[in-house]
Chain A
């Protein structure tokens, strides 16, 4: 049985570790420190932690102000509030000014569960991806999250790191490479490529296993960085495998599926399927039932691969 751990806990732990080695790191939150897990940092470094109360817009602008005084600022809240409610502040105060602010936005997607559709961001990747200067990362597991946080601190500029509430499988280890903007191939195969991000990477691995038993060999690509997208990895997958399926815990409009479609269009002509949320809002329920309801399991990925392969 694989280790189970949420990426938000890994995010909080990574910040606390980062705080010990980088005194230029400041952390901001908007009254959700015990949900985004920035509390781990706040407990260790209270003098480098700012709580802005339930005022996400003010937090984003103030984070930009702090960052422009030479600090690396991690600002956290739920993805729906950070990418949605404070979109304009992220755009004008952080991206437009090129502030060194990292948005660690949690509770993304239906896996946030019972809080329901008002809290389940399904469009955050799409929103953040349209912003000039913004880097968008959706780590696949807790181990990769720590690498992403440390890489973010070493890389100047606005960045969105997507974290999840749900404890999920750890599928990478310390030796798995992580470089912003560079896709990681977790499994080789020649019949189809599954390009996934976030918690759907584990589902993609399960689907690949099921398909292998049927004689369909899949390349599984962990596209942890959605922007800048590793276009080379996408085009190589099209060339080598001849069919592509994307998988994300996000709307199929504008997220990873949209980004991969943009990379393929005009450059490669292969069967292409997108697994994700089909232009719907979320709702209350257990994460497991919601994953089934919204088609976010290995089963849907495997079906999409079969459809794509049949079209070759």
Chain B
């Protein structure tokens, strides 16, 4: 666990660096999904090859909450898809690190996302392909709780169960906040775990900041159904003045805040 603590701090520092350089972007929801992406890429869950990003039999990872891409980019750089220095080009003209992920620009990005819900249903297509006789790969989706208000999420959930997509795993970054307030203030999700279960998914709940617990949930034996892992997280995790603050969904970081965040992360 200690290894991942240090690694998570480093990824958070990379996220803060890139967002500070960009002077725009989404700190809160990026910081909440650090451990989820570390579990996928650095704890033996996802099959990938940084030297061959388009390897046909790789597992697909879809960041359906595309605005959290600074974290995806930091992790992709960390595992060798592109040099870490490039993180500072985030959101700049000509950069492959677009404000929302672009699969045709950034090595390692498997789906262009940003329009919420789209990654969920693109993943249904990936998972269907992964189960065809010609292929054998898994699909991992990171989705948001605000995103779960999109109707297409539930179209995708229905289709995944209908086609018994047991190569599909959806990880919910459940930080409880969205742009206009808490989920419950804006549009209650109700019992989202029960909703996925009612749609025919296998479900579980984990601490979304426990890299090992997330990876273990991903690796558990399958039972013929798509899998939903509710990862309970803290929005803005790791930078105390951003934690659980609605206002830090999408706000530029000023110099003073940048210094304070970096000092706290100790990197």
Q: Which residues of A contact B (CB under 8 A)?
A: 50, 52-53, 55, 57-58, 60-71, 88-89, 92-93, 96-98
Contacts and interface: CB of A to CB of B under 8 A. Distances in A.
A53 B163 CA distance: 12
Nearest to B129: A69
B156 interface: yes
A70 B56 contact: yes
B265 interface: no
B111 A65 contact: yes
A81 to B, nearest CB: 13
Interface in B104-123: 104, 111-112, 114-115, 118, 120-123
B126 A69 contact: yes
A8 B56 CA distance: 34
A65 B156 CA distance: 12
A52 B112 contact: no
Nearest to B135: A69
Given A62-B124, A66-B129, A52 B152 contact: no
A61 B152 contact: yes
Given A57-B121, A69-B126, A69-B129, A62 B111 contact: no
Given A52-B159, A58-B121, A61-B124, 11 more contacts: A53-B159, A55-B159, A62-B121, A63-B125, A65-B125, A67-B125, A68-B111, A71-B129, A88-B115, A92-B112, A92-B114
Nearest to A50: B128
Q: Is the interface of A mostly helix, strand, loop or mixed?
A: helix
A120 B99 CA distance: 38
A5 B48 CA distance: 50
Contacts of B159: 52-53, 55, 58, 62
Nearest to B112: A97
A52 B122 CA distance: 13
Contacts of B122: 61-62, 64-65, 68, 93
Q: How many residues of B sit at the interface, in one of the four size bands?
A: 20 to 34
A66 B155 contact: no
Given A69-B135, A71-B129, A97-B104, A89 B118 contact: yes
A26 to B, nearest CB: 9
Interface of B: 56, 102-104, 111-112, 114-115, 118, 120-130, 135, 151-152, 155-156, 158-159, 162-163
A92 B129 contact: no
B123 A65 contact: yes
Contacts, number: 88
Given A92-B118, A96-B112, A53 B158 contact: yes
B125 A64 contact: yes
Contacts of B129: 65-66, 69-71
B121 A61 contact: yes
By Cβ-Cβ distance, the 10 closest A-B pairs, closest first, are: A65-B125, A69-B129, A61-B121, A58-B155, A62-B125, A55-B155, A65-B122, A66-B125, A65-B126, A58-B121
Contacts of B163: 50
Nearest to B54: A68
B130 A69 contact: yes
Contacts of B120: 61
Contacts of B130: 69
A64 B103 CA distance: 12
- Residue in B104, B118, B123 with the greatest tally of chain A CB atoms within 10 Å: B118
A67 B122 CA distance: 10
A58 B124 contact: yes
A61 B128 contact: no
A61 B125 contact: yes
A65 B56 CA distance: 13
A299 B126 CA distance: 50
A53 B121 CA distance: 13
Nearest to A61: B121
A97 to B, nearest CB: 5
Given A53-B158, A55-B158, A57-B155, A65 B128 contact: yes
Contacts of A68: 103, 111, 122, 125-126
A61 B156 CA distance: 9
